[in-house]
A and B are shown apart, each in its own frame.
Chain A
Amino acid sequence: MSTLTPPVDARDHVLGRADATTLVEYGDYQCPTCADAHPLVQELLRAFGDRLRFVYRHFPLSELHPMALPAAEAAEAAGALGDFWSMHDELFENQDRLDPDVLRACADNVGIDALAFDDQLARHVHRGRVRDDFRSGVRSGVNGTPTFFIDGSRYDGPLDVMGMVRAIALVAGRT
């Protein structure tokens, strides 16, 4: 069975409490299935409340999606400037029109320092971080995007609320 490697640590973008059941997503901001999964994750977080925490790692499929890597770097830049999660939402909500100007518009909507954002993207400050996420996905058995892990084990069930609620509840019930 494929296991999350490395486990969730201080480098990760985390929503929720450390003692909760952990849902990790490897995603690509230009992948339509990931955009479909975005509201699904939000619904799961609402349903489970404090009992679920969410972690997002980058898995840009650059050969298929030319804007996937720049978008991942943009999310990291926003994170460094104080608001990863708002940028994460913006990117998925604007997926069908992503280009460099839209990345900048998303950053403006989030309200982060535009000059610093542009500078970090131009110098690819966060490319290494994104690549680290990608490599960890390969080692963890990510088989495409999105791939989810529930408390470290890959979830191979259907990407719908019922399937995921059941799988999370099963794991949460054990602890």
Chain B
Amino acid sequence: MTTLDPQARGEALPAGTRAPGFTLPSAPDAMLSLIDLRGSPVVLVFYPADWSPVCGDQIALYNEILDEFAERGATLVGVSVDGRWCHHAYARHRNVRFPLLADFEPKGAVARAYGVYRLADGTSERALFLIDAEGVIRWSYVSPIGVNPGADGILAALDELAHPQGARR
């Protein structure tokens, strides 16, 4: 029997899992598929909503440090349940320089596939996934609600991916 507990929290897909594929709108007239990004690491950033208070905003922070991700050869992609026009307006208003995908219809389907949908709120968690060049999740993290995860964890995970500790020369 399936129960729909509104407080239920899924389990975020752990390291070692193949990243579920998806195709979502990345702009009013464009789509982006995860498989298009195969060949270099992808940082998938789930966040609850566009237009959250400015300065504590996760998207604003990542936007400031895109160079740090680029230096590590990684592509950063944001995902929320907001629609494509909402993303469009938000990205223009805040100078967001990386794609924001609309997980809008069916609502939150990609967040659910990654185990980071919050039924009670109808949004995703603040969750980070590092997907390697072969499409396998190598690191994931779900931030406590109301706390932005910052960027130190994801940058450390990217460094570890590039230079595993214990790896032989």
Q: Are B64 and A143 in contact (CB under 8 A)?
A: no
- Taking each of B55, B148, B152, which has the highest tally of chain A beta carbons within 10 Å of its own beta carbon? B55
Nearest A residue (CB) for B65: A138
Inside 8 A of A12's CB, which chain B residues have their CB?
A: none
Residue total for B at the interface (Cβ-Cβ under 8 A): 24
Q: Are B56 and A145 in contact (CB under 8 A)?
A: yes
**Shortest beta-carbon distance from A94 to chain B in Å:** 18
**Shortest beta-carbon distance from B143 to chain A in Å:** 9
Contact mask for chain A residues 120-157; partner B; CB cutoff 8 A; 1 contact, 0 none? 00000000000000100011111111110000001010
Q: Are A144 and B63 in contact (CB under 8 A)?
A: no
Q: Report the Cα distance A28→B153, complex, angstroms.
A: 22
Inside 8 A of B147's CB, which chain A residues have their CB?
A: 143, 156
**Shortest beta-carbon distance from A50 to chain B in Å:** 31
A109 on interface, CB distance cutoff 8 Å? no
Contact mask for chain B residues 140-165; partner A; CB cutoff 8 A; 1 contact, 0 none? 00001001111111010000000000
Q: Are A31 and B144 in contact (CB under 8 A)?
A: no
Given A64-B95, A138-B152, A156-B147, answer yes or no on A144-B60 (Cβ-Cβ < 8 Å).
yes
Contact mask for chain B residues 38-55; partner A; CB cutoff 8 A; 1 contact, 0 none? 000000000000000111
The B45-97 residues at the A interface (CB cut-off 8 A) are 53-58, 60-61, 63-65, 68, 94-95, 97
Q: Report the Cα distance A156→B97, complex, angstroms.
A: 27
Q: Give which listed residue, B57, B68, B155, contacts A144 with CB less than 8 A.
A: B57
Inside 8 A of A142's CB, which chain B residues have their CB?
A: 61, 150
Q: Report the Cα distance A146→B55, complex, angstroms.
A: 8
**Shortest beta-carbon distance from A89 to chain B in Å:** 19
Contact mask for chain A residues 89-106; partner B; CB cutoff 8 A; 1 contact, 0 none? 000000000000000000
Q: Give which listed residue, A34, A62, A138, A154, contacts B55 with CB less than 8 A.
A: A34
Q: Report the Cα distance A138→B64, complex, angstroms.
A: 10
> 9 A-B residue contacts at CB 8 Å?
A31-B54, A61-B61, A63-B64, A63-B94, A141-B151, A143-B148, A144-B57, A145-B55, A156-B147
Interface residues of B (CB under 8 A from A): 53-58, 60-61, 63-65, 68, 94-95, 97, 144, 147-153, 155
Taking A63-B94, A141-B153 as known contacts, 17 extra A-B pairs with beta carbons closer than 8 A to each other, sorted by chain A number, are A28-B55, A31-B54, A33-B53, A33-B55, A61-B61, A62-B64, A63-B60, A64-B60, A134-B64, A138-B152, A139-B155, A143-B56, A143-B148, A144-B56, A144-B148, A145-B56, A156-B147
Query: Closest 4 A-B residue pairs measured CB to CB?
Result: A144-B56, A143-B148, A143-B150, A141-B150
